[in-house]
Structures are given as C-alpha cells and as structure tokens.
C-alpha cells in the first residue's frame, strides 16, 4: 500500500504541570465553604424536625441538583460537625386552589442529616 501522507499523526502530549499541594488544599477548603450556601437552601423547621433534633437528626431544604456527598460536606464545613448519614427526599409540587384561582405550590428537595452522637447544630440562633 502506498503512503500518501493523508493520515494525521498524533502529537505526543506533555504532562501537565503539577500545582503545589499546599496551596491546592487551602483553596479547596475555601471553595467548599463558598459552595455550601448554594447546596443548603434553608433549614427545614417544623415541629417534627425540632423533635428529631433531639436525636441528632437535622433537616434542610437543598438545591435540586445536590447529591448526598455534597450535602454532607456542606453541613460539615458550614457547622463544623461530623455527618454520619444523609437521606434525601424529593417533595413533589402540589396543586392548590383558592376560590376560582388555581395554582401550584413549589416542590423542593429535602435532606435529613444525621450527626455523630452528642453533636448539635444551632439552626435558629436564639
């Protein structure tokens, strides 16, 4: 077979320059704290949630795109506690009516966060 030089030759890639490990960890920790407010929308304060807080369970409304690991890291960074488990529930939108007017109550994502035994979060400052 005749080589006409039509095939493109692959270029050898150079290894990327490594950044300093010390500066990378500082920015990573700082970045997480900046992202925590995007993940945690608000604390979910209800009668049931305040009773669950006695057993180290806390509830938060979270961003719809948030995952369990992101939620756990955000709570740890924001409140300085150790998270042992995270459970998530998607609360669906509900149809509401007031007289003739119909509308929708917004849906949201809710997270139940369990902390290490004996640790507390002050969700609403006194």
Residue 99 has pLDDT above 60, yes or no: yes
> What residue ranges in 44-118 does DSSP mark as E strands?
57-62, 83-91, 94-98, 101-105, 108-115
pLDDT value at residue 74: 94
Residue 17 has pLDDT above 80, yes or no: no
SS3 5: coil
pLDDT value at residue 25: 45
d(CA 63, CA 60) in angstroms, rounded, equals 10
Task: Evaluate whether residue 102 is within a structural domain.
Answer: yes
Residues 6+ apart with CB under 8 A from 37: 78
Residue-averaged pLDDT of the chain:
83
CATH number of the domain to which 47 belongs: 3.30.70.330
Task: Evaluate whether residue 18 is within a structural domain.
Answer: no
Q: Do residues 102 and 122 lie in contact, with contact meaning Cβ atoms separated by under 8 Å?
A: no
Query: Domain total for the chain?
Result: 1
State mean pLDDT over 40-49: 93
Task: Evaluate whether residue 100 is within a structural domain.
Answer: yes
Could you list the residue range(s) of the whole structural domain that residue 42 is in?
Answer: 31-115
Count the neighbouring beta carbons within 10 Å of the beta carbon of residue 45: 15
């Amino acid at each position: 077979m005749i080589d006409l030089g039509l095939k493109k030759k692959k270029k050898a890639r150079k290894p990327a320059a490594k950044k300093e490990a010390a500066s990378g960890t500082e920015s990573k920790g700082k970045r997480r704290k900046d992202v925590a407010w995007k993940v945690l929308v608000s604390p979910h304060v209800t009668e049931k949630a305040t009773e669950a807080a006695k057993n180290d369970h806390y509830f938060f409304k979270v961003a719809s795109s948030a995952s369990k690991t992101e939620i756990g890291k955000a709570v740890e960074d924001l409140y300085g506690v150790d998270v042992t488990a995270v459970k998530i529930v998607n609360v669906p939108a509900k149809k509401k009516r007031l007289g003739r007017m119909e509308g929708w109550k917004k849906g949201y994502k809710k997270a139940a966060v369990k902390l290490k035994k004996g640790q507390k979060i002050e969700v609403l400052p006194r």
